[in-house]
Amino acid sequence: MPEAGRLEAAVAAGVLPAEESFAQLLRSIVVVARAIFGAKASSIFLFEPETDELVFAAVAGDDEQELVGRRMPSSQGVAGWVLSSRTPLVLEDVRSDPRWARGFAEKTGYVPKGLMAVPLLHEEEVLGVLQVLDRPERSTFSLREMELLGLFASQAAIALALLRAARHAREALAGDGEAAGVATLAAAVARLEGERRAAGLELVRALARTLS
């Protein structure tokens, strides 16, 4: 990696929160989404372009946490269709839809009747899919509900974008002692507050620019 890129990655790795913080944020999004829509389940898939897979990044239920990290090809299922088409989808009868991946659903231990899913878009890039499963039956799905689901999707997309940035920065610094030192400095500065934090962050950025 060029020197400038290494230093930028070091600053990012030092300033961005730990992965666990993003995992907690994603979990809170699906928990609130499940509660707001009165649904039985809710989940977020993260798209990993390197492997062309969708990965469970967050699930709402306490007894479903073993699903986090489970993978499936990005071309499969309703989530795969929503990802590739970048189009929200509402299904009242999932099992009769040809896009539904029955085998994968059965492996998770939960086979829904209906769902709504929306792509997670950040700066024109699709990062994943948010799903809400088995909400109370209604005759129609209102525009207001779609707008509300879109708000949850926006928050989840921001969280996924930050999570990916943190992962990429730390991967780039693996085994790089010099850049790791810059990351440590950036982390120390990030713990400051108010004007001291702002001044410290500007100092780290100036250092990166100078050394590049």
Summarize pLDDT for 13-57 with one digit per residue, the tens.
444 455 567 788 888 889 999 998 888 999 999 999 999 999 999
Question: Per CATH, is 18-170 categorized as 2.60.120.10?
Answer: no
Helix, strand or coil, per DSSP, at residue 139: coil
Per-residue pLDDT, averaged over 58-74, amounts to 90
- Global pTM exceeds 0.85: no
Task: Give 50-62 pLDDT, tens digit per residue.
Answer: 999 999 999 998 8
State residue 138's pLDDT score: 61
What are the residue boundaries of the structural domains of the chain, listed by start?
Answer: 3-12+172-211, 18-170
| Average pLDDT of the chain to the nearest whole number | 77
Report residue 111's pLDDT band, with 50, 70 and 90 as the boundaries.
confident
- Environment class of 99 (CB within 10 Å of its CB; exposed 0-12, middle 13-18, buried 19+): middle
